[in-house]
Amino acid sequence: DTAVSQTPKYLVTQMGNDKSIKCEQNLGHDTMYWYKQDSKKFLKIMFSYNNKELIINETVPNRFSPKSPDKAHLNLHINSLELGDSAVYFCASSLRSGGVYNEQFFGPGTRLTVL
Amino acid sequence: GENVEQHPSTLSVQEGDSAVIKCTYSDSASNYFPWYKQELGKGPQLIIDIRSNVGEKKDQRIAVTLNKTAKHFSLHITETQPEDSAVYFCAAKHGGSQGNLIFGKGTKLSVKP
């Protein structure tokens, strides 16, 4: 059983295009995240989404927008793609309950290449 | 905000030797410190974590120590095996119960048979 899944695994596209990456978790978690991992393996939080509350990392361009149709899904939409958007994007989820911080489970990643 | 420094960036050891990775953090309010292992082509996976009310935690060949006063924590892997080869990330939780994880820049561990 897949805990956190992402589609597609690879995405190659041209500059200026709009694309979406989908994420689904079947863990019953209430919080989901998007991370960007650059070519140097640096892992940086982009968004966290909990009970319809979106927390945005201020360094993320507004071309990036997360969309959550329900608690099990958090998709990432990217407008006007740029070369610098090339990276691996990871979705993750966790359960935030009673103020206790719990393990984040990561998806397998989506490698985005912008040409 | 929180800043997490991780050293070394690369580490090569002989099979059977021990490996130590060190991290420092800047925000004294951080209270949760996980370690993730990322194998090639996969997402990070939690291998061990420690909370600020504990100084040391061990799970088979891996252990983590935390020094809150000095604001540093370390991962220790004993009796390393080739399958331990991966990139390891430390992280610190910042910003209370709703805070996010701030990751170190990773350590590429290579275990030579």
pLDDT in tens, B57-113: 999 999 999 999 999 999 999 999 999 999 999 999 875 656 788 999 999 999 999
Best of B11, B88, B98 to disrupt the A interface (most A CBs within 10 Å) is B98
**What tokens does A20 get?**
């979406």
Would you place residue A99 in the very low, low, confident or very high pLDDT band (cuts 50, 70, 90)? low
Tell me the longest C-alpha to C-alpha distance in chain B: 43
**What is the rounded CA–CA span in Å between residue A3 and residue A27?**
6
Helix, coil or strand: residue A66 = strand
- Asked if residue A73 has pLDDT above 70, the reply is yes
Mean pLDDT of A29-40: 92
- CB contacts of A48 in chain B (<8 Å) are 100
A14: left (phi over 0), alpha (psi -120 to 50) or beta: beta
Best of A35, A43, A48 to disrupt the B interface (most B CBs within 10 Å) is A43
Min mean pLDDT across A26-35, A45-54, A66-75, B37-46 is at A45-54
Mean pLDDT of A75-80: 96
**What 3 state SS string does B8-71 have?**
CCEEEEECCCCEEEEEEECCCCCCEEEEEEECCCCCCEEEEEEECCCCEEEECCEEEEEECCCC
B53-66 pLDDT, tens digit per residue, is 889 999 999 999 99
DSSP annotation of B97: G
Mean pLDDT, all residues of chain A: 90
Q: Do A40 and B105 lie within an 8 Å CB cutoff?
A: yes
